[in-house]
């Protein structure tokens, strides 16, 4: 006897419990009609992940209970395994439940609650204890939920309880390198305990997080036998033989995962698409300067939403080089995006006139630069208000780290697609995208970066070269190294000290920045929580 299983790599909407329940019912009906015995869905599929403080509302938990009743009454002829929060004696648990023919036949509570990095599960859940095993098609299935697989005991306990196959339900967000890390870890567990493991992951963007999907199956020898798609809502169907070992369809090769730039680029595209779609925007607007940051952001926006839902606004000032306008127009033309040109000179003049009595006798400084950035911010937010299009902010991680951006100016906006992308990676992503089709004019990639807020300005007047800056920032922010550690590796002491000071001092700016897609091990936002007021 064999068992036909399907992984549902699902993109739920956080908080939409009734809608997610309908999606599960429709998926179960479709799977049943195509002969599937067992449908495996991700962690907290019913609520989406992470539901955050919605979990603290009794009304939200009541909706989950109502949806569970509906799922039990609607699903027939197929076994459904899926994640949801369960209020029980002792508190709230993050569970994997098994529904078959009107009955909840098994429930397993997550034992290891992640509480590091972007995870905050101890705020909401109590840990479960012990394994849960159920039978289907003559096979014994164990259950585990995401973080459980990162520890040894839950898998061992399931094997000791007689499981031949482990169903691991996940809400595992993406960062660069994560996919290979997961596969190696799960393969090791499968080998160590002689189990087949089905790794079912969520897909989709949720605020700062993007879930890549990349669900997969490993056999008891630790070989990957099946992979689902990356960054796409999909299903993965397979057969298990009478011993619970996955059956490969002939000699069909496994799909390889794409390289680093492509993976990160697609993560950004999905993050933008889902933020815009799930928040009900008509499309997006952004300021297109002829610089690399806005160029990459525009390419991502068009790939995410389609050219007809994206609008680029050119807002030249007295300091804008002709080639900036030419390159911006050329990129918009290549992408098929509509443009508007709105010079900021009249507004800039008006502000300078209004402020003249206040500033009388004082030298021109960064204040005037910021007024220009703020004129642009007002224009873009006005277009966003009128059109229902979200303003995409174009700042990268290197700028956000050192505060090289203007509050309420170029930091204005609703979502910041590349805020976790360091400048050197911005260039690599732009080159990767141009390798698919040349949408960004070569000059935009070649030119020295400039804010164009005063004559002949370049970023390097104020900042160290970006390759040096990014190397220091990675060590200081992602690796938590001290200034002394970094200097000991041969980096110039004065530069390292200055960069670290800028990072520390600019927390106030980052706290007011829009959210953006997390693609690194440590992004600004929920992943790095520093005091603003600090004597460090
Ligand atoms: N701890 C704190 N808590 C709360 N607020 C604090 C604060 N410290 C300062 N502030 C406030 O923040 C203000 C300073 O911030 P802000 O007004 O933004 O201005 P600021 O950081 O002084 O200047 C912006 C910098 O970004 C550069 N820039 C601007 C635009 C685009 C680009 C680019 O290439 O992308 C670069 C520009 O050349 C300049 O170096 C202070 O005047 C004060 O009002
Ligand atoms: N002339 C302009 N027209 C339209 N938008 C502009 C203009 N100048 C600046 N902006 C907006 O402000 C943002 C920050 O400006 P800045 O010049 O620093 O960035 P960039 O041009 O995209 O990249 P780079 O930092 O590499 O020059 C831009 O990305 C863009 O959204
Ligand atoms: N939801 C979870 O338990 C996620 C934690 C896990 N270590 C991951 O990111 O894959």
Query: Does residue 9 contact residue 41 with C-beta atoms inside 8 Å?
Result: no
Half-sphere exposure of 113 (CA within 13 A, CB side): 18
Q: What is the CATH number of the domain that holds 314?
A: 3.40.50.620
Token digits for 179?
């996919």
Cα distance between residue 119 and residue 102, in whole Å: 33
Length of the chain: 536
Tell me, yes or no, if 423 is annotated catalytic. Answer: no
Domain that holds residue 276: 262-459
Domain termination site, one of 459, 483, 500: 459
Other Cβ atoms closer than 10 A to 111: 20
Pocket-testing residue among 50, 170, 197, ligand 3, by greatest number of atoms within 8 A of Cβ? 170
421 domain-assigned: yes
Is residue 127 within 8 Å of 92, Cβ to Cβ? Answer: no
Return the structure tokens found at 496. 């390292």
| pLDDT score recorded for residue 7 | 98
Number of domain units in the chain:
2
Give me the catalytic one of 6, 43, 147, 481.
Answer: 43
Q: What's residue 457's pLDDT?
A: 82
Ligand nearest to the CA of residue 370, numbered in listed order = 1
CA dist 359 and 367 (Å) reads: 10
Asked if the structure places residue 513 within a domain, the reply is no
What is the per-residue pLDDT for 258?
A: 95
Check whether 397 is labelled as a binding-site residue. no
Angle at 96 between CA 91 and CA 97, to 5 degrees: 100
SS3 label, residue 239: strand
Which run of H or of E encompasses 133?
A: strand 133-136
> Looking at the domain assignment, is residue 276 inside a domain?
yes
Q: Which DSSP letter does residue 152 get?
A: S
**Do 136 and 198 lie in a common domain?**
yes
- In this structure, the answer to whether residues 216 and 289 fall within a common structural domain is no
Residues 211, 280: one domain?
no
Domain match, 343 and 397 both: yes
- Using CA atoms, how far apart are residues 473 and 161, in angstroms rounded to an integer? 48
Q: What is the ipTM of this complex?
A: 0.91
Give the Å distance between the CA of 43 and the centre of ligand 3. Answer: 10
> Is the same domain home to 225 and 314?
no
Q: Which atom of ligand 3 is nearest to the CA of 146?
A: 3
Report the separation in Å between the CA atom of 394 and the middle of ligand 1, taken as the mean of its atom positions.
16
* Whether residue 297 sits in one domain with residue 200: no
Here the tokens at position 86 are 């369960």
**Co-location of 191 and 311 in the same domain:** no
- Flag whether 172 is marked binding: yes
Residue 290 lies in a domain: yes
Torsion of CA 411, 414, 417, 423, to 10 degrees: 0
Q: Is 172 in the pocket of ligand 3 (CB under 6 A)?
A: yes
Is 496 inside any structural domain?
no
The reported pLDDT for the residue numbered 456 is: 83
Are 206 and 337 found together in one domain? no
- In the reported structure, the alpha carbon of residue 128 is separated from the centroid of ligand 1 by a whole-number distance in angstroms of 48
In a domain, 508, yes or no: no
Rounded CA separation 90/125 (Å): 10
Q: Are residues 238 and 267 in the same domain?
A: no
pLDDT at 248: 86
Question: What pLDDT is stored for residue 250 in this prediction?
Answer: 73
For residue 452, what pLDDT is reported? 84
| Final residue before a domain boundary, out of 203, 219, 248 | 248
**The domain that contains 168 carries what CATH number?**
3.60.110.10
Q: Is the CB of 305 under 6 A from ligand 3?
A: no
The residue whose CA has the least distance to atom 1 of ligand 3 is 171
Check whether residue 157 and residue 236 sit in a common domain.
Answer: yes
Q: Which residues contact 152 (CB under 8 A, 6 or more apart)?
A: 189, 192
Nearest Cα neighbor of 217 from 240, 250, 234, 233 is 240
Last residue of a domain, one of 411, 428, 459: 459
Among 96, 114, 152, 526, the mutation site with the greatest number of ligand 3 atoms within 8 A of its Cβ is 114
Nearest ligand (C-alpha, residue 345): 2
- Judge whether 452 counts as a catalytic residue: no
Relative to the CA of 409, which ligand 2 atom is closest?
Answer: 12
Give the chain's radius of gyration (CA, Å). 26
Would residue 310 count as lying in a domain?
Answer: yes
Q: Flag residues of the chain having pLDDT under 50.
A: none
Let me know whether 280 and 214 are in one domain: no
CA of 291 to the centre of ligand 1 (A): 20
Other beta carbons less than 10 A from residue 399's beta carbon: 27
pLDDT of residue 249: 75
In a domain, residue 476? The reply is no
Identified catalytic residue from 146, 147, 278, 419? 146
Q: Are residues 221 and 367 in the same domain?
A: no
Assigned token pair, 272: 């933008």
CB of 315 closer than 6 A to ligand 2?
yes
Task: Kindly identify the ligand whose nearest atom is closest to the C-alpha of 120.
Answer: 3
Whether residue 290 is annotated as binding a ligand: the answer is yes
pTM across the whole model: 0.96
User: What does DSSP assign to residue 440?
Assistant: S
């Amino acid at each position: 006897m064999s068992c036909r299983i399907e992984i549902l790599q699902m993109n739920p909407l956080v908080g939409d419990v009734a809608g997610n329940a309908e999606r599960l019912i429709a998926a179960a009906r479709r799977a049943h009609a195509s002969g599937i015995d067992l449908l495996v869905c991700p962690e907290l599929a019913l609520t989406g992940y992470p539901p955050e403080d919605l979990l603290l509302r009794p009304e939200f938990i009541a909706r989950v209970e109502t949806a569970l009743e509906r799922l039990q009454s609607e699903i027939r002829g197929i076994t459904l395994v899926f994640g949801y929060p369960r209020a029980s004696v002792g508190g709230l648990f993050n569970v994997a439940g098994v529904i078959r023919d009107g009955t909840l036949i098994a429930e397993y509570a997550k034992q290891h609650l992640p509480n590091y990095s972007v995870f905050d599960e101890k705020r909401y859940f109590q840990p479960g204890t012990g394994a849960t095993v159920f039978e289907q098609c003559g096979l014994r299935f164990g259950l585990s939920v995401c973080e459980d697989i990162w520890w040894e005991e839950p898998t061992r306990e399931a094997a000791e309880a007689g499981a031949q196959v482990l169903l691991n339900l996940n809400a595992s967000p993406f960062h660069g390198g994560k996919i290979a890390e997961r596969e190696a870890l799960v393969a090791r567990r499968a080998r160590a305990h002689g189990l087949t493991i089905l790794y079912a992951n969520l897909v989709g963007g949720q605020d700062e997080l993007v879930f890549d999907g990349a669900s997969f199956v490993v056999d008891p020898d630790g070989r990957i036998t099946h992979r689902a798609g990356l960054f796409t809502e999909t299903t993965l169907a397979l057969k298990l033989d009478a011993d619970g070992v996955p059956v490969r369809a002939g000699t069909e090769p496994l799909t390889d995962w794409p390289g680093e730039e492509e993976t990160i680029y697609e993560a950004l595209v999905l993050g933008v698409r889902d933020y815009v779609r799930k928040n009900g925007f008509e499309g997006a607007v952004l300021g297109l300067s002829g610089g690399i940051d806005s160029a990459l952001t525009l390419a991502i926006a068009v790939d995410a939403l389609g050219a007809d839902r994206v609008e680029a606004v050119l807002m030249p000032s007295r300091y804008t080089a002709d080639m900036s306008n030419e390159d911006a127009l050329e990129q918009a033309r290549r992408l098929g995006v509509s443009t508007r040109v709105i010079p900021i000179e009249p507004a800039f003049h008006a502000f300078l006139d209004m402020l003249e009595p206040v500033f009388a006798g004082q030298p021109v400084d960064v204040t005037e630069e910021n007024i220009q950035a703020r004129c642009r911010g007002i224009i873009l937010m006005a277009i966003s208000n009128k059109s229902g299009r979200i303003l995409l902010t174009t700042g990268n991680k290197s700028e956000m780290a050192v505060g090289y951006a203007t509050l309420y100016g170029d930091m204005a906006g609703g979502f910041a697609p590349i805020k976790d992308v360091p400048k050197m990676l911005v260039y690599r992503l732009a080159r990767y995208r141009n390798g698919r089709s040349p949408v960004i004019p070569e000059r935009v990639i070649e030119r020295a970066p400039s804010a164009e807020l005063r004559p002949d300005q370049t970023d390097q007047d104020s900042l160290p070269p970006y390759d040096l800056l990014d190397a220091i920032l990675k060590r200081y922010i992602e690796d938590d190294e001290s200034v002394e550690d970094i200097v000991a590796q041969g980096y110039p002491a004065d530069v390292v000290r200055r960069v670290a000071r800028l990072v520390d001092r600019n927390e106030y700016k980052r706290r007011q920045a829009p959210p953006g897609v997390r693609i690194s091990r440590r992004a600004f936002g929920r992943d790095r929580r520093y005091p603003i007021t600090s004597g460090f």
